C-alpha cells in the first residue's frame, strides 16, 4: 500500500466515526428539542441557524489555518468540536447550553453527506487533504468513495439511535466522534503552506461561492426540516423515523457510486441540472399530498438526488484553484453556503411555527431554478471541467 493510500485510509476511518455520530444526532436532535424538551419549531429553527452560522465561522477559520498552518494540526483541532458539542448537549437541556452545543458540533442537517452538516467545520479540510493525495483524474472517484462509506455509516448511526433515549444518544455520538481523532494522530500529511496574500484564483472562487450561497439557501429551506415535517404532519415516532432515515441514507450512499460515471457522461453541470431538478420537483409534492407512502418515498429518494453531483462539484472546484489556496477556497464556498442557509433555516422555522408549511417548499423550487440557470451560465461552456 502506498503512503498516500495509507493516509486516505486513516482519513476515511476518521470520517466514518464522525458519520456514525452525525447519523445519530441528525435523527434525535429534533425529537430531543420538540418532544423531550418541549421547545417550539421556531426555537428548533434558531438552534439550527446558530449551528450553521457557527460552522461557517469555524470553516473559514480552519480554511485559512489549513493553508497557512498545515493540514494535520488543523484537522485535529476541527475534529475536537463535534464530541465537545455532543457532550454539552448530553450534560444539559437548557436552551443556552443547547445553543453552545449546536454551535460547537454544527448540529444541523443543512449539508449533504459530501458537504457537511453535523461536524461540518472539518469538511473543507478533509476535501483539501483528499485533493492533496489524489490526481484530478481520479479525485471524483475517491470523493465518491468517501461519501459512499460515510453514507453507510451515517445510515447505521440513524438506525443505532433507536437503542438510546434522545439524551443518551448524544453521549454515544460523543464517544464515536472522539474515537475518530485517534486515527488522525499517525497521519503524515504534506507540510506545504501558503502565504497570506491576495489569492490568484479569486474569479473561480467567487463563482463557486455564489453557487454555494444559492445551494445554502435551498438546503436551509428544506433539509433540516424533513424529519420535523414528518413529526408535525404525520406524527411519526422516533423509532419508525429511524428506519426511514436509515433507508434514505442507504439509498444516497449507493447512488453516490454512480457519481464518477455521471461526471464522465454529462459533465458536472448537466449532472447537477438533471439530479437537482428532479429532486426539486419531487419535494414540491410533499406539501401538496397527504399520502403517507408517497411522502416517505420522496423522503427516501430526494437526498440521493441532491448529493450525487457533489463529488464532481468538489473536483471542479479543486481543479480550478491553486493548491496553495485550496483550503481557503473550499472554506469560502462552505461559508457562503452556510451563512445563506442560516437565514433560510430561520425563515422555515418561523413558517413551520405559524403552520405555513408549504411556502418553504415553493421557495426551494424557485431557488433551485435560479441556481441551475447560473450553473450553465458560469460553467456550461467549460468542457475542460469534464475529467476524462
For residues 167 and 36, the answer to whether their CB atoms sit within 8 Å is yes
The residue with greater pLDDT, 373 or 65, is 373
Task: State the average pLDDT for the chain.
Answer: 84
Distance CA 306, CA 170 (A): 27
Least confident piece of the model among 107-121, 169-183, 275-289: 107-121
What are the residues facing 153 on neighbouring strands?
none
pLDDT range class, residue 112, cuts 50, 70, 90: very low
Backbone dihedral angles phi then psi of residue 26, each to the nearest 5 degrees: -55, -40
pLDDT at 234: 92
Distance in angstroms (rounded) separating the CA atoms of residues 257 and 246 = 18
User: How confident is residue 197, by pLDDT bands cut at 50, 70 and 90?
Assistant: low
Global confidence as pTM: 0.75
Residue 250 has pLDDT above 60, yes or no: yes
Residue 388's pLDDT band, with cuts at 50, 70 and 90, is: very low
The reported pLDDT for the residue numbered 47 is: 92
- Residue 374 pLDDT exceeds 80: yes
Task: Examine the pLDDT at 382 and tell me if it is beyond 70.
Answer: no
d(CA 273, CA 279): 10
Taking the alpha carbons at both ends of the chain, their separation in whole angstroms is: 25
Q: Categorize the per-residue pLDDT at 383 as very low, low, confident or very high, splitting at 50, 70 and 90.
A: very low
For a pLDDT cut of 70, what percent of the chain falls above it? Answer: 91
Compute and round to an integer the Cα radius of gyration of the chain: 19
Closest-CA residue to 103 (of 114, 123, 89): 89
Mean pLDDT computed over 8-26: 92
Q: Residue range 152-158: average pLDDT? A: 88
Dmax of the chain from CA atoms?
57
- Per-residue pLDDT, averaged over 280-292, amounts to 92
The region of weakest confidence among 61-75, 222-236, 310-324, 346-360 is 310-324
Contact 108, 123 (CB under 8 A): no
Find the mean pLDDT for residues 121-133.
82
Q: Dihedral sign for Cα 168, 233, 252, 279, please.
A: negative
For each of the domains in the chain, give its residue range(s) and CATH number, in order of start. 3-185+201-382 (1.20.1250.20)
pLDDT digits (tens, 9 = 90+) for 81-96: 999 999 999 999 999 9
Instruction: Evaluate if residue 263 carries a pLDDT over 70.
Output: yes
Amino acid at each position: 500500500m502506498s503512503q498516500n493510500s495509507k493516509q486516505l485510509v486513516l482519513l476515511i476511518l476518521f470520517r466514518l466515526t464522525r458519520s456514525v455520530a452525525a447519523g445519530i444526532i441528525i435523527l434525535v436532535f429534533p425529537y430531543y428539542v420538540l418532544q423531550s424538551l418541549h421547545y417550539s419549531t421556531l426555537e428548533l429553527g434558531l438552534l439550527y441557524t446558530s449551528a450553521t452560522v457557527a460552522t461557517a465561522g469555524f470553516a473559514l477559520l480552519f480554511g485559512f489555518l489549513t493553508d497557512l498552518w498545515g493540514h494535520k494540526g488543523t484537522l485535529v483541532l476541527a475534529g475536537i468540536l463535534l464530541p465537545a458539542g455532543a457532550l454539552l448537549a448530553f450534560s444539559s437541556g437548557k436552551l443556552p447550553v443547547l445553543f453552545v452545543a449546536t454551535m460547537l458540533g454544527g448540529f444541523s442537517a443543512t449539508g449533504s453527506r459530501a458537504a457537511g452538516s453535523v461536524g461540518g467545520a472539518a469538511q473543507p479540510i478533509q476535501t483539501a487533504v483528499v485533493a492533496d493525495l489524489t490526481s484530478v483524474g481520479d479525485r471524483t472517484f475517491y470523493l465518491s468513495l468517501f461519501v459512499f462509506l460515510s453514507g453507510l455509516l451515517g445510515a447505521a448511526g440513524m438506525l443505532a439511535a433507536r437503542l438510546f433515549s434522545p439524551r443518551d444518544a448524544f453521549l454515544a455520538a460523543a464517544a464515536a466522534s472522539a474515537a475518530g481523532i485517534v486515527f488522525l494522530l499517525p497521519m503524515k500529511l504534506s507540510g506545504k503552506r501558503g502565504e497570506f496574500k491576495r489569492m490568484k484564483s479569486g474569479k473561480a472562487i467567487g463563482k463557486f461561492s455564489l453557487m454555494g450561497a444559492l445551494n445554502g439557501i435551498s438546503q436551509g429551506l428544506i433539509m433540516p426540516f424533513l424529519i420535523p415535517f414528518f413529526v408535525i404532519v404525520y406524527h411519526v415516532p422516533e423509532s419508525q423515523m429511524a428506519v426511514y432515515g436509515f433507508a434514505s441514507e442507504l439509498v444516497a450512499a449507493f447512488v453516490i457510486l454512480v457519481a464518477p460515471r455521471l461526471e464522465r457522461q454529462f459533465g458536472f453541470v448537466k449532472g447537477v441540472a438533471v439530479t437537482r431538478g428532479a429532486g426539486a420537483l419531487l419535494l414540491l409534492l410533499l406539501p401538496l399530498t397527504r399520502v403517507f407512502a408517497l411522502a416517505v418515498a420522496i423522503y427516501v429518494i430526494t437526498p440521493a438526488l441532491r448529493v450525487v453531483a457533489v463529488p464532481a462539484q468538489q473536483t471542479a472546484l479543486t481543479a480550478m484553484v491553486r493548491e496553495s489556496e485550496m483550503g481557503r477556497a473550499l472554506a469560502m464556498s462552505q461559508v457562503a453556503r452556510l451563512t445563506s442557509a442560516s437565514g433560510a433555516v430561520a425563515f422555515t422555522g418561523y413558517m413551520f411555527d405559524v403552520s405555513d408549511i408549504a411556502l418553504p417548499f415553493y421557495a426551494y423550487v424557485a431557488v433551485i431554478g435560479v441556481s441551475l440557470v447560473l450553473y450553465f451560465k458560469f460553467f456550461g461552456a467549460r468542457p475542460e471541467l469534464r475529467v476524462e
